[in-house]
Structure 1
Amino acid sequence: MSDSSWIAVDAMGGDKGLAVMLAGVARARHRFPDMRFYLVGDEQAIADGLNAHPNLSAHAEIVHAPDVVGSSDKPSQAIRRAKTTSMGMAIDLVKQGRAGAAVSSGNTGALMAMAKLALRTMKGIDRPALAAMLPTLGDNDVVMLDLGANTDCDARNLVQFAVMGAAYARTTLDLANPRVALLNIGSEDQKGTDEVRDAAQALKDATHLPMAFTGFVEGDRLARGDVDVIVCDGFSGNIALKTAEGTARFVADLLKRAFRSSVRSKIGFLISRPATELLRDHLDPNNHNGAVFLGLNGLVVKSHGGANELGVATAIGNAAKMVKNDLTRRIIDDLRNFEAAPAASASAADAA
């Protein structure tokens, strides 16, 4: 049983350094005043950095880690040094039950490998998945998984991802019955691979779960807000995510170029500035930061390496919500209910 009042933060991970990580933790503490933090990394550097955040010191404990996982380190190299690195020691605090979640902005491959090895996959899950939230035109973000942990998935994997994604959406988006869809090349029932169609049939039959399966969704509908959870294999999900991120940057850069093209355009920018700032904030990845490895016996959140103070705080905030709402238990309960339903139906049929 983990301590839900503590979050372990890999203070040395991230491209922007320790100062940004500590500023993000301090910002998250204001939003979640009941949370406490293990700051894992170089003890002296963290202690010096806390001088800029006196209100955080009373809510944090420094855990010294003599080593750091580098951005170019291979997962196998990182695993061998797990007991001495800030990333590995943050995950170990979750394994020990001293923290409810670990947050790191470090090397994604190393974090995934360490988390799987230390925490293991929960019973009923064949493969963990990487889930994140993307902005939409709807009332809330959309949860998407898998985003790269599993390149090949069968129907059973996709169904498990759907169950986990729905539990995640209920926890972080406060949705009682999240709308779940499978990413496909068309919306018709006959479209897609056998794995996708078989998963769709299984999810249609799972009417007893707290989710609403809506069928298939195509790539051009990812950001429309029509669904709350989008499920796919990691290969397709990672491509879709990178394409969406690249398109957002393309639109932003195109607008900048257009507004700088003439004096009239610059005047137009000043007039439309409130709208462009709203667009910028909505597309800012720091407002949607924090991917989580679902399906492990513990919570590990991956913050974007280039996240700023707001982004780090967003990732920690997502971790805090998952811990407070006991996401791991919700997933276990939903999986148990999903597996129990066919057995109950078979028993009823035999009795008849």
Structure 2
Amino acid sequence: MTASAVSGAANPARPEQASVSPEGPDESGLPRIAGAWHPWRWVVGAIALILVAQFAHGLITNPGWDWGTFAQYFTAPSVLAALQVTLELTLWGTVLGFALGTLLAIGRVSNNPVLRVIAWTYIWAFRSIPLIVQLLFWFNIAYLYQRLSVGIPFGPAFFDFEVNGVISGFTAAVIGLALHQAAYSAELIRAGLLAVDQGQLDAAAALGIPKWRQFRTVVLPQAMRSILPNAANEVIGLFKGTSIVSVMAIAELFYQVQVVFGRNGRVVPLLMVATVWYIVLTTILSIVQYYIERHYAKGAQRQLPPTPWQRVRAKVTEIAAHTAPPRGATR
């Protein structure tokens, strides 16, 4: 086989097989390859842009949206205070829910049959009961237990306290959200733990690596790649689900919006206030999720793809390089 034959086999897109552009060769002297023309892509894209423009035009020009009222209440002190309550409910529900969910997941995968049964029963029960029922139950817990005591089981109590003085509406909401979230996060964490190949743990044990270091360096990085996408969805769902505590008259974002439009009758712009705040904070959570996933992807990919910001900077640099005058050129 000759060298020319080898060269032709290594380059299937030879000039005689490709569509050559009438513009002639490029700077390297090779013929330009003309790309295929897809007119329907442009037609579909144009239709989509027309529909988006029509929707945007309706948002701007329709007086029913009442953007003046929206701007008036978007950063109102009462709305911002309610937004803080929503964030606190999300934070405590996430931290406590995933902490308890981690313990339940460990119980589900443990070799102790008692722990496996207790963890499975908890997950089955709290996934079966609607969240609103759980919240109302904890909100009315004082009806069942007026006082609670802490001490030795079936023995003397060290101290006791009145339930109504300790479990407020906010505390009851946190307990309900956390216990409900724990049931779902336990299954997410268990799935992530089971996704790690057992052979890697056996190899780490054979090398004499301690159990805690095995979990930190072998299990956790790989499990997090499976846990993070679904866990982020759960956190975002919990953030939006905090609106359900409005049935307990807790002044979170949706409840406060209801109070305001109950007074002034401006339902649509006030609903848009809550909607835009939910969108803004969900977007922030999605960005945080992206960078956490990127951090735990370091062990799976040799070279991470550029971030959106890095792509924008590279594109701006490329455009600036093309538009800059050549070196040595005179004006």
Would you call these one fold, judging by a TM-score over 0.5? no
Q: TM-score per shorter chain, which class?
A: under 0.3
TM-score (norm 1): 0.24
Of structures 1 and 2, the one scoring higher in RCO (CA 8 A, sep 6+) is 1
Richer in helix (by share): 2
Q: Please identify the structure whose Cα radius of gyration is greater.
A: 2
TM-score (norm 2): 0.25
